Chain A
Amino acid sequence: MGALIGLLSLPALFSSFAASLAGESLLAGLTLYAGTLLYLGIWAALTLFVSLAARSRGLALGVLSAFWVITVLVVPRIGVTSASATLPTEGKILTDMRMNDDLRKLGDGHNAADPAFSKLKANLLAQYDVDSVDELPVNFRGMVASKSETDLTETLNAYAEKRMDRESAQAAHLSAYSWLSPYLAIGGASRNLAGTDLETHHRFLREAEATRFDFVQGLNKAHIEKLSYEDDMNRNSGEEGWKKARIDASNWSVLNDFRFTPDTASDRLNRATPKLLALILWFIALIGLGLAAARRLTP
């Protein structure tokens, strides 16, 4: 049995070394390997225990397959269904519509005449001590776009954070079922260790959004500083006005290269710890039961 487990786990060991050559941390790879060994060990210990305890081979096989069906097929699905029943996430459309109620208060960033921006206008006029927006040294329409982008992003992010919190709560609910199903435990732990879990997905979303925001505000800055309010207002009057209201393509270089780096191995290990702990407990408990059953047989 031990040899079989060793053989079955060889690909995992090999790939963890291969990945470490490609720059992956050896710690994460080896932990994943150890987790896989533990998982296979649980099945070996279970098989041993059931074979010792059951009266007939048929019964042992029945119990083992029932255990497989329950821990691999049934418990994960119950976990998923109960997570979405107890912690329902509302759909994006509903969130959007609720959010719209909030957004209506912010004003339309493409329309500088929107009453929501009158306060911004009054402040700017006072700051530069002028009487109308065309006397401002900055492009008022750009200021409006920039301000509304900030407000909009704040609201959108607040809703996005709420949604991500709920998803994390769901994931936590599901991973609590790891104690009932070693299959869920090893699945969750490998996603944690490989950096393909929900936390990583959420961090990706946040970083991508931050990049987008910086890029748009970079363009808005160019709008404020490099395009005069007069040219901007004449943008729709004829071909020449249309061309004059454009800024140089080089301004687009404010779009930073977006690079997403995975979490450090120790961070990933931390997230996987509860699931690995569940696996260790399963293993110890089954070994204990197996030993007890063996002792009962010997005398």
Chain B
Amino acid sequence: MMRELKFMLRDKAVWVWLSLAFVFSVAAVSLGLNEVSQQRAEIAELQQLDQIERKAALSGQSEWGGAAYYTFHLTYDPPSDFAFAAMGQRDVNPWKHRIRMLALEGQIYETDANNPDFALIGRFDFAFIVSLIAPLVVILLLFELRSGEQVAGRLRLIEASAGDAKKLWRSRAGLRIGALAIALCLPVIIGGVISGAGLLTLLFCILAVCLYLGFWTVLTLWLTPATRTGAYNLTIMLGVWLLLCAVLPATLTQAISRAVPLPDGGEIVLTQREAVNDAWDIPKEETYAVFLKRHPEWVDYTGWDTADGFEWKWYYAFQHVGDMAAEPLSKAYREGQARRDELAKWSSLMSPATLLQRTMERLAETDMRAAITYEQSVRDFHANLRTWHYPKMFKADDFNSDWAIGAVPTFDPSTKTGAESDLSN
């Protein structure tokens, strides 16, 4: 074994590919850590501004209706300790919102969009390195393992002198791929220690990487027999890589999008908007009739108390009626998203690159499921906000700004119902 190790270390090509993998992994991990710390810093500043703003908004108010109208609430999904390895859906789906007690459907689809050019290209993160680049390195390390010796005329000699030839090639391939696994995983372990990722998460990540590399090793050894030339073997393997890492994932994504169409997001917002705008012109009783279906507890409080043409409780009632109008569409949208994710989960069994990517995103809690969980936590918070404010508005409680500043509900990201330790994919 030591002899084999020395033999491998004398091979310049091995050094080139291994250092390339190591450099890429280091770059991806440090860029990922940098991104996570930027996101954390942004959240910290947002929290601070949120407090200042709430105080300013509430102290100028004299009634609960106005207070709820002018008070925004920050909601956010902090990056996990492993998010540096796979940014996943955080680049596409929103992870922070400013929510008011107005109709939620008009607020929840607001994404803090990044530079449009960037989403087109994608991020250089550890998940990308492992799922797309690492298989290429495996191929480059192994395609000439046997055919190279054949060309040099040593194949027979080596196989004869080794006794068990299969064992020899296995240990040679194992050494190379083991070294590759170390080159890839070492930066991620260090990154994980720096950011405080859980031991179990890191172990799972290493296991996933090793299994994935193992898959490509077996595939490469199987498809690159010594009887063919190295150039031929490499061409075959590059074709396989293109198929498994580029063509298949893209085809599956396309097929799933076609199979599960989503309602147009703009249509959801428009439906809600129209319901809210119409409410100004239709009889108040009509609005209340719809509202009371959902909140019958306020049936005795919907009288028109003032001569004025405007009352806050009516205003918030029709905001909620707007959400109710958009509810079927909104539900269909969310169900479609979940359905797509479910299909993607099963179809990833056909595409190892996608499977690995999904595993990383699950470990990093940056997958679609995490995005859906966060959105649900925002919906729950908004519902809380309403049920907290309704009694004050319908019973016309007195407003005390000093008390309100300390008492209004604030969002707590840890109340998410997602299962942190649930690693099943």
A positions within 8 Å CB-CB of B: 56-58, 60-62, 65-66, 69, 73-74, 76-85, 88-94, 96-98, 100-101, 104, 167, 170-171, 174, 198, 201, 235-238, 242
Contacts and interface: CB of A to CB of B under 8 A. Distances in A.
Given A69-B136, A81-B123, A237-B309, A171 B24 contact: no
A100 B53 contact: yes
B132 A73 contact: yes
B238 A65 contact: yes
Contacts of B52: 101
Contacts, number: 113
B289 to A, nearest CB: 20
A174 B117 contact: yes
Contact of A97 (B27, B49, B124, B310): B49
B64 to A, nearest CB: 18
Please provide the 9 A-B residue pairs with the shortest distance between their CB atoms, ordered closest to farther.
A91-B112, A58-B230, A77-B124, A236-B309, A57-B231, A58-B231, A97-B49, A81-B124, A76-B121
A65 B35 CA distance: 30
Size category of the B interface is: 35 or more
A236 B310 contact: yes
B369 interface: no
Given A91-B42, A97-B46, A61 B124 contact: no
A73 B133 contact: yes
Nearest to B242: A65
Contacts of B117: 80, 170-171, 174, 198
Nearest to B140: A62
B31 A88 contact: no
Given A90-B42, A97-B50, A235-B309, A61 B121 contact: no
Given A58-B230, A58-B234, A85-B31, A78 B49 contact: no
Nearest to B28: A81
Nearest to A201: B116
A79 B140 CA distance: 25
B403 interface: no
A66 B16 CA distance: 12
A78 to B, nearest CB: 5
B105 interface: no
Interface in B221-250: 229-231, 233-235, 238
A176 B136 CA distance: 27
A80 B123 contact: yes
Contacts of A77: 121-124, 128
Nearest to B280: A242
B361 interface: no
Contacts of A80: 117-118, 121-124
